[in-house]
A = this chain, B = another copy of it.
């Protein structure tokens, strides 16, 4: 990724939307969120059982979703309970809705 000039700047909502979209841009991450939507919350292990991927890979995807704030983890030792972050969820929902509504 060469960017010879200084970093290109876009509008704030443009950047925000792109970041959310990027986080949603993998079927596994969509599947995780769909699971969380129905189950409200879950542990990493639940997802590892459901998904045909290694535990470390699932962890990586969770990290991506956490990075943009769509989910959050709560310590329930020795497990970690993941839930959708509703505030950020609504924020993303609004951004997409406004984007598509022209």
Q: A97 — nearest CB in chain B belongs to which residue?
A: B97
Q: Which residues of B contact A52 (CB under 8 A)?
A: 5, 8
How many copies of the chain does the oligomer comprise? 2
A10 to B99, CA, bound (A): 26
- Please count how many residues in chain A sit with their CB below 8 Å of the partner chain's CB atoms: 33
A24's contact among B11, B18, B27, B102, by CB below 8 Å, is which? B18
Q: Which residues of B contact A29 (CB under 8 A)?
A: 18
User: Chain B nearest CB: distance from A95 CB in Å?
Assistant: 10
Per the 8 Å Cβ criterion, residues 5-63 of A in contact with B are 5, 8, 10-11, 14-15, 17-18, 21-31, 33-34, 37, 52-53
Are A93 and B100 CB-contacts (below 8 A) given A10-B27, A18-B25, A18-B30?
yes
